[in-house]
Amino acid sequence: MRLLVTGGAGFIGSAFVRRRLAATTDEIVVLDKLTYAGNRANLAPCEADATQARRLTFVRGDICDEPLVNSLVAETDAVVNFAAESHVDRSIIDAEAFLRTGVIGVHVLLEAVRRATETGRKVRFVQVSTDEVYGAVHEGSSVETDQMAPRSPYASAKAAGELLVAAYGTTHGTDTVVTRGANTYGPYQHPEKVVPLFITNALDDAPLPLYGDGRQQRDWLFVDDHADAVGFVLDHGRSGEAYNVPGAGLRLNRDLTAAILELLGKPWSLVRSVPDRPGHDLRYCMDGAKLAALGWQPGVGIDQGLADTVAWYSANRDWWQQAKSGDWAAYYEHQYGRRLAESVEA
């Protein structure tokens, strides 16, 4: 297959590209804007392997760029869309880029697929979405037929993107599938997200800013599992369907933090309880029966995945120090400066 992987230089997209090039004979074109979150170094392992490098093309560009997207979609069998602004806290600071990429960008991709399909070609569109479209789930677990109830600007942009995908399936007969992944962690994740933020801060003996009482709960999905699930749905998903991709370990943020510190041999005194994220979703939890019935389940448990992740960040200081350069200091001060000044013992 020839795949167009948008956002393929980010955290999950690059894992998808690395694993897909290694496991198949697919040819992949990555289209990525290289925002602060994108990093070509994430594809270096593929570029260092001669047989994989021959099947990988990198294009720096925006999914909102219609002529560029049209020309790339004209040459592909499927589009796998990872491109998005992905950090909830940044969407609270300024949501515009979330909407531009998450709604207009998705529309540009869908239009290109529709046009290609109208010329008689088969092009599948995979939209990588999130458990956050369900909103906070105080008990039980979300099933795919539940109504979307997003609560952050990030989650609303993702839900809007999904609605557009569904509309193209219904109205134009576009071949679409959607994955709704759980909180993902693993190597190459930007250190703005909680797992790498806490690992890298702890490695530097810097404070770990735990929001509120830390009793929020997430279901943690290892990045390789998330990438493989997207590939599985690309290959086997039924057109028009959405699939939950649950994690392999529900954890309170406090317990996740304690596990990270234990792996690093660092003290709990590094943890500071800081003023909470506005509109903080208390809990996400999805039912994975639909994807399991299709033949896929996560393989990496949270204990193993976390140990591997801690080992990777410990061994790849250059990678995350580069991610913590540029605008990082300004972002960190804006997001955490006052919070840490007002922090209390956790």
Q: Catalytic residue numbers?
A: 131-132, 154
**C-alpha distances in Å from residue 314, one per residue of 121, 156, 208, 275, 309:** 47, 35, 16, 29, 8
DSSP helix/strand/coil, 265: coil
Question: Look-up: residue for tokens 């962690």?
Answer: 185
Shortest distance in whole angstroms from residue 21 CB to ligand TDX:
24
Q: Give whichever of 198 and 319 is closer to ligand TDX, judged by the CB atom.
A: 198
Q: Give whichever of 6 and 142 is closer to ligand NAD, judged by the CB atom.
A: 6
216 binds ligand TDX (CB under 6 A): yes
34 binds ligand NAD (CB under 6 A): yes
What is the C-alpha to C-alpha distance for residues 128 and 3, in angstroms, rounded to an integer? 14
176 binds ligand NAD (CB under 6 A): no
Report CA Rg, the chain: 19
Nearest to 64 by CA among 37, 12, 27, 99: 99
196 binds ligand TDX (CB under 6 A): no
Q: From ligand TDX, ligand NAD, none, which one binds at residue 176 (CB under 5 to 8 Å depending on kind)?
A: none
- The window from 10-18, 231-239, 260-268, 317-325 that contacts ligand NAD (CB under 6 A) reads 10-18
Q: Which amino acid is at 196?
A: P
Q: From ligand TDX, ligand NAD, none, which one binds at residue 216 (CB under 5 to 8 Å depending on kind)?
A: ligand TDX
Strands 271-274 and 344-345, bridge-based pairing: antiparallel
Q: In this chain, which of 11, 125, 198, 296 binds ligand NAD, going by CB under 6 A?
A: 11
253 binds ligand NAD (CB under 6 A): no
> Which stretch of DSSP H or E encloses residue 217?
strand 217-219
Q: Are 63 and 83 in contact (CB under 8 A)?
A: yes
How many CB atoms neighbour CB 85 within 10 A? 24
Site string for ligand TDX, 269-298 (x = CB under 6 A): --------x---------------------
DSSP helix/strand/coil, 230: helix
Binding residue count for ligand TDX, defined by CB under 6 A: 17
132 binds ligand TDX (CB under 6 A): yes
Beta bridge partners of 272: 209, 345
Nearest to 284 by CA among 225, 226, 219, 215: 219
Q: In this chain, which of 5, 21, 109, 197 binds ligand TDX, going by CB under 6 A?
A: 197
Nearest to 37 by CA among 179, 193, 223: 193
- The window from 82-90, 170-178, 285-293, 294-302 that contacts ligand TDX (CB under 6 A) reads 82-90
What is the C-alpha to C-alpha distance for residues 301 and 121, in angstroms, rounded to an integer? 40
- Binding to ligand TDX, residues 221-250 (CB under 6 A): none
What is the C-alpha to C-alpha distance for residues 193 and 185, in angstroms, rounded to an integer? 9
Q: Give whichever of 83 and 110 is closer to ligand NAD, judged by the CB atom.
A: 83
Interacting residue ranges for ligand NAD, rule: CB under 6 A: 6-7, 9-13, 31-35, 37-38, 62-64, 82-84, 86, 101, 105, 128, 130, 158, 181, 183-184, 190
Interacting residue ranges for ligand TDX, rule: CB under 6 A: 86-89, 130, 132, 183, 193-194, 197, 209-211, 216, 218, 253, 277
